[in-house]
């Protein structure tokens, strides 16, 4: 497998009146061509901001992006000028956003919006672009695509709009598709349709997919690797089996414990994580999860743990006590605390 993207020590900050918000705090990872990566975390953990930083869609100022490198397919994205980065956006890295209604332009037809990217990036003329747009709408499973081409976004249902967004994202055959919570606004049966669609297209087109979500449930089915983020840090990373079956970070365990399972036994108690995520203005010196952690010791307050290998190659955890931690230990610790 060849490396598609390599991120080293990415920081994103926002300078506001109240102080500097440290949204992403020095994250590093690599993505292989064709890989499906899940980026999981709660609101404010920096998962979306990190993706927007890769595409340089952060407004500067108040934002500030700083990294050793954001290497993608032979170039450092942070060193490109405005014209060059525009060539990457949409053509090499495409993005699908959470809310399909506000990311489609209500005053243009869906067909036009898909064609636009093709004319811009592929140099097609109107007729060619329209034909290709029709193919794409068929590809993403929109019924009667030839009629739908001239519809406006409000004539589409939520699921269809998200399909149209995906068609638009795929129009230039990107090497990487970043999907930022694309199914959060949709119903489960429609979510199942979209997941199936993206997975089918990922296989057919061989593109890499970064799926950003707060739902560990979805990722179990789709992802090869998972980055778990908290307060702008990656706090655990591993392949899907390591994350779900050999979980080492108390936060990841907490997330899994908070999630009710449709197949759970009667009488199962949810293990909630007490407290709230930290304020990102002014980072703690120690572990960002300290205040909510059931396993905290003094060291966690004064020294921030770095990612280290936990058990198997590729599985990394940022926790001083990962060796002592598993689901059983958390259940006990949570039971003792209540």
Which residues are near other proteins by CB under 8 A?
42-43, 143, 157-160, 187-193, 196, 214-218, 220-221, 240-241, 244-245, 254-264, 266, 268-274, 276-277
Task: Using the minimum distance from each CB to other proteins, give the nearer residue, 1 or 262.
Answer: 262
Residue 328 CB, shortest distance to other proteins, in Å, is 17
Task: Using the minimum distance from each CB to other proteins, give the nearer residue, 35 or 92.
Answer: 35
Task: Using the minimum distance from each CB to other proteins, give the nearer residue, 72 or 233.
Answer: 233
Task: Using the minimum distance from each CB to other proteins, give the nearer residue, 123 or 143.
Answer: 143
How is residue 1 written in tokens?
């497998």
Task: Using the minimum distance from each CB to other proteins, give the nearer residue, 188 or 285.
Answer: 188
Residue 101 CB, shortest distance to other proteins, in Å, is 13
Residue 81 CB, shortest distance to other proteins, in Å, is 38
Residue 269 CB, shortest distance to other proteins, in Å, is 7
- The β-bridge relationship of strands 225-230 and 176-180 is unpaired
Nearest residue to 31 (alpha-carbon basis) of 168, 165, 177: 177
Nearest residue to 103 (alpha-carbon basis) of 93, 92, 95: 95
CB 228 within 8 A of CB 237: yes
Residue 224 CB, shortest distance to other proteins, in Å, is 10
Residue 154 CB, shortest distance to other proteins, in Å, is 14
Residue 50 CB, shortest distance to other proteins, in Å, is 18
Residue 263 CB, shortest distance to other proteins, in Å, is 6
Q: Compute and round to an integer the Cα radius of gyration of the chain.
A: 21
CB 231 within 8 A of CB 46: yes
Task: Using the minimum distance from each CB to other proteins, give the nearer residue, 56 or 163.
Answer: 163
Distance between CA atoms of 92 and 53, rounded to whole angstroms?
15
Q: What is the largest CA-CA distance in the chain?
A: 68
Task: Using the minimum distance from each CB to other proteins, give the nearer residue, 26 or 158.
Answer: 158
Task: Using the minimum distance from each CB to other proteins, give the nearer residue, 10 or 36.
Answer: 36
């Amino acid at each position: 497998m060849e490396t598609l993207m390599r991120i080293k020590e990415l920081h994103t900050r926002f300078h506001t009146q109240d102080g500097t918000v440290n949204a992403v705090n020095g994250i590093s990872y690599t993505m292989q061509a064709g890989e499906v990566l899940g980026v999981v975390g709660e609101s404010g953990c920096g998962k979306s901001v990190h993706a927007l930083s890769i595409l340089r869609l952060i407004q500067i100022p108040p934002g500030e992006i700083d990294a050793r490198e954001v290497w993608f397919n032979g170039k450092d994205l942070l060193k490109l000028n405005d014209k060059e980065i525009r060539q990457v956006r949409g053509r090499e890295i495409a993005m699908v956003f959470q809310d399909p209604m506000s990311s489609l332009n209500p005053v243009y037809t869906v067909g036009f919006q898909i064609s636009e990217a093709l004319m811009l990036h592929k140099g097609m003329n109107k007729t060619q672009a329209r034909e290709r747009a029709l193919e794409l709408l068929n590809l993403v499973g929109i019924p009667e695509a030839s009629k739908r081409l001239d519809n406006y976004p409000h004539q589409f249902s939520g699921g269809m709009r998200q399909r149209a967004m995906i068609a638009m994202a795929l129009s230039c055959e990107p090497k990487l598709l970043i999907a930022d919570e694309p199914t959060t606004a949709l119903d489960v049966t429609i979510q199942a349709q979209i997941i199936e669609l993206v997975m089918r297209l990922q296989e057919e087109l061989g593109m890499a997919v970064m799926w950003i979500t707060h739902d560990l449930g979805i990722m179990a089915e789709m992802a090869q690797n998972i980055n778990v983020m908290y307060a702008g840090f990656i706090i655990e990373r591993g392949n899907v089996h390591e994350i779900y079956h050999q979980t080492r970070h108390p936060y990841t365990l907490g997330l899994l414990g908070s999630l009710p399972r449709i197949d759970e036994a009667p009488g199962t108690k949810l293990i909630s994580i007490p407290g709230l995520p930290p304020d990102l203005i002014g980072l703690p010196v120690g572990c960002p999860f300290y205040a909510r952690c059931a396993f905290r010791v003094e060291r966690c307050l004064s020294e921030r743990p770095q990612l280290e290998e936990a058990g198997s190659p590729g599985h990394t955890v940022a926790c001083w006590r990962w060796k002592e931690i598993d689901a059983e230990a958390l259940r006990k610790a949570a039971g003792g605390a209540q």
